[in-house]
Structure 1
Amino acid sequence: YAAHALDQGIGRALWFVAGTSAERAVTLLERFPESRHADLYAGIGLAATYAGGADDAELRWLRERAGAHRGPLAQGSVFAAEARIRAGLLFPHTESAVGVLCGTTAEQAAEVSRATRPTATAQDSPPAYEAWRRRIAETFVFHGGVPS
């Protein structure tokens, strides 16, 4: 599983290497094999939401460009929202990014994260952390946002 975690970190780094430009970040991402794109998009979603730097139009472009990887992109955004809320540092750019990438508020996204947090052991397959990420991604792919 370490390769997946590494790619999520690379995705976060791509956001900053690209100067928070969604288009440049995706250009860099597309240099990697398709099999790595889901984890890279998850990292970009987290960084774009946590750090900001893109306006709503750029985030909408990113969401559309992610295509089949919109779920992982949203999952990264959800994790960022939860981190910001836990730290008591919720900023307008976080709300905006979650709204565009997840179709919901930061608080609702964080609630999805909390509600789906694993209780399984680290010996499970897939690892509990990965199962958690998948549940979050599927929530946003199948429902187009948080279910009401």
Structure 2
Amino acid sequence: MAQEALEITEAIALIARVPGYKAIARNLTRRTVRYVPTLIDRGQATLMGVILIGPEALLGGVVGLAETLVHEEFHTRQNHLLKTHSFWSGVFTRTPVMARYERPAYQAALDFLAVLAATCPEYASEALAEADAVRTSYTAFYAS
């Protein structure tokens, strides 16, 4: 098994340890999660529900990867038409086009990190730092 696959497995196991996140971990184990070394984004969820993980997601250790997986898993449960709606709403209102689509996935990631920090002291500082990075990323890309 490739190192990336082991890291993904470890991140899913961490998600499963966090109270309230067993169902998300279970959903991730049922999906195809694939490492793509050329992926520019941290992660992507395809229309078919495949989760693609890029190299940047692995740089944040198990907590950063778990956060990315929670974020992308959220996208697999969103209505695909929301992506189109978000795009055109942004065009018409002259606001960041994907903000409406991304906001709830970023929030899901932040919620996960808050519970992780509160319930797993060994990951608390890493989770809080990752949450700051998530907020910074959202603001940089989607705040108007």
TM (normalized to structure 2)? Answer: 0.31
For the pair shown, the structure with the greater C-alpha radius of gyration is 2
User: Of Structure 1 and Structure 2, which has the larger fraction of its residues in strand?
Assistant: 2
Task: Please identify which structure carries the higher helix content.
Answer: 1
